[in-house]
Amino acid sequence: MAAMASSTFFFFLLCLTVTAKKTYIVHMKHQDKPLSFETHNDWYSSSLQSLTATPAESLLYSYNAAFNGFAASLDPEQAEALSKSDSVLGVYEDTVYNLHTTRTPQFLGLDAESGLWAGHNTQQLEQASRDVIIGVLDTGVWPESKSFDDSGMPVVPAKWRGECESAPDFNPKFCNRKLIGARSFSKGYRMASGGGGIYKKPGEIQSPRDKDGHGTHTASTAAGSHVANASLLGYASGTARGMATHARVAAYKVCWETGCFGSDILAGMERAIEDGVDVLSLSLGGGSAPYFRDTIAIGAFTAMEKGIFVSCSAGNSGPTKATLANVAPWIMTVGAGTLDRDFPAYAVLGNKIRYNGVSLYSGRGMGKNPVGLVYSKGNSSGSNLCLTGSLDPALVRGKVVLCDRGTTARVEKGAVVRDAGGVGMILANTEASGEELVADSHLLPAVAVGRKVGDLIREYARSEPNPTAALVFGGTVLDIKPSPVVAAFSSRGPNMVTPQILKPDVIGPGVNILAAWSEAIGPTGLAKDSRKTMFNIMSGTSMSCPHISGLAALIKAAHPEWSPSAIKSALMTTAYTQDNTNSTLRDAADGSLSNPWAHGAGHVDPQKALSPGLVYDISTEEYITFLCSLGYTVDHVKTIVKRPNITCSTKFKDPGELNYPSFSVLFGGKRVVRYTRELTNVGPARSIYKVTVNGPSTVVISVRPKTLIFRSVGEKKRYTVTFVAKRGTSPMAKPEFGSIVWGNAQNQVKSPVSFSWSLM
């Protein structure tokens, strides 16, 4: 294999036709490095010398921890030549991922003085969490935010190997005992920009500083310090705090103006793993892909092996089915739900009917007098959507404009109305977004309403000769019922990469979340928004993900010996599926009952997750067996596992045999599906659990044994569950859902079950 280094290794040399270069991630056989090279980086550089006159410039990243290989700037012919090497397992074009854009602690029960952690109080848990480090891969951090104040924090844990990098706008001294690390990774992004082309924003500085706001918001949600009198321009006023207020934060900026490039994400994950983080939080993702082509899944596997919990957002493509991102079973896939807090606003029409909506508008109001209302009156067919340039100022000046939601950003529509001379906006949902209401800090008085109300207002605007409207704002209201409700935007199952693994795993708070913000940008994120605020209210699975990252940090602090799989199991099996009216969780899309394809195991319950009783643990070897069961080649499995001696001699008959805390039963022409699971006792010795099953009439569920007796802490017990589809059930039957619960007086260890008769 030493020939890898020689110029005769490749038949394409410097005479290659010059074509546009792209970033490629190259997976290498790690063990093939010739002895003549001191490091793998030297080997990679040498391999590029045969292809390019500037190998040092072409080699963007050399990966060792999260991935075996490198990222390089190559043209397609060079990439093709490289792929023919015996030492190359694969060459993949870089992927662009996207961001999945103060009352949550109380809503989650984290402000209770006792009872959080069996035998310990909140203060003891907070002290334990000081040694836990959360790495956030996002748009960077605004270090001056009060959410990263380190008052009362002890010295940085000795295990920490990270640093705060220096940049023209970022002094390493901005870091402290709370924000202990800040780095940036932009080589993939800069390569895609062509050194300042279509991707790159003029004057953009390579720095960990957050110019977007998203990264500061997610980092402070996970582990922000207490900040009194926090609000967004008066809304949601109170004390802002993260989930794990005493945990440390390390920010890894991997997302830039046009997205998050896979090569940069992988470099950020690798650095975070080497730096010594305990939890990785990624509020970003792309579409679903096989795990060996999924940058985040590959990096997360190495993190899991090293005991690092990885939490990722599920995506914001709901309520359409099969829209999930980040579905690898070693990742915690997080959907979004609402809080018990709302920001009501009202549209009062000329017919005296008042319709309910929401808004975060904080400027001067319209007053009580109604003004003219217009809808779909403009220069183009896009006027109903209030697209840029679509509104005729002569028709909308001084009036309220009714805009359909969709195509462009909600706040952008308000800017279009304002620029055309409108004095207010009613933003009406269409069928795509249903009844879900997301509040925004609009640039002009604006109210968002659901589809049904939107249809009534649309009809009024069309049929009334002189329609009018007035907009009224109601501030902040608490104790909203029902809550939580599954957010309509939260991406849905089924899991199309591995249908036998139920995803998402859980939901957490992700609608109208108050957290810290970058002072480099206004609350809408629009260039024309000159307002500055220390906190902002945002929605998305991007917001729910860091809630779970912070909760995982608390569980890690309480149980440092637990594996990432055990922590995930604790959060899943203790999640609840009833709202604050004691009814089954509902779906904001249409108000119907939700199901595990939308909410997974349910909404997280931190108090119960700290003492789950039993956990479903999964070893690295079991994950490898799972991967070998997916029909991947051994080389594909090696891409993820990064071990040279993988043979896949051991496989599951069915990927669903993985010891996962939930069940996804795919009959697919069979009538019988049987799985064996193993539970580990993390509760008291001499614990007895009995099983309860719940399922549809079309499936018979039987469990053996029906009772599990654990005589000691750490003891493991197995059970087998058999699912039998009743004869005559159509292969086209709609999916059904159920549950399996192991319970006693202290704990209810619940697993959701989905039943499908065929793939979608």
Catalytic residues: 138, 214, 542
| φ, ψ for residue 334, nearest 5 deg | -115, 120
With a CB cutoff of 8 Å and minimum separation 6, the contacts of 536 are: 213, 217, 232, 441, 514, 515, 516, 517, 523
**Strand, coil or helix: 414:** helix
CB-side neighbour CA atoms (13 Å) of 112:
15
Question: Which residues pair with residue 227 across a beta bridge?
Answer: 240
Asked if 137 and 185 touch (Cβ cutoff 8 Å), the reply is no
Q: CA-CA distance, 117 to 562, in Å (whole number)?
A: 15
Nearest partner of 143 among 182, 92, 104, 193, judged by Cα: 182
Q: Which residues in 52-84 are b (16+ Cβ under 10 Å) and which e?
A: beebeebbbbbbbbbbbbbbbbbbeebbebbee
Asked if 572 and 505 touch (Cβ cutoff 8 Å), the reply is yes
What Cα–Cα distance (Å) separates residue 225 from each residue in 94, 148, 203, 288, 491? Answer: 36, 6, 32, 35, 30
What's the distance, CA 97 to chain centroid? 12
Orientation angle between helical segments 262-275 and 295-305, nearest 10 degrees: 10
Residue keyed to tokens 């509040």 = 439
Asked if 127 and 568 touch (Cβ cutoff 8 Å), the reply is no
Helices (H), 276-425: 295-305, 393-396, 410-419
Residue 504: is the preceding peptide bond cis (ω within 30°)?
Answer: yes
What H or E segment, with its residue span, contains residue 267?
helix 262-275
Q: CA-CA distance, 119 to 683, in Å (whole number)?
A: 12
Asked if 327 and 498 touch (Cβ cutoff 8 Å), the reply is yes
Dihedral sign from CA coordinates of 22, 25, 27, 30? positive
Structure tokens belonging to residue 524:
């809408």
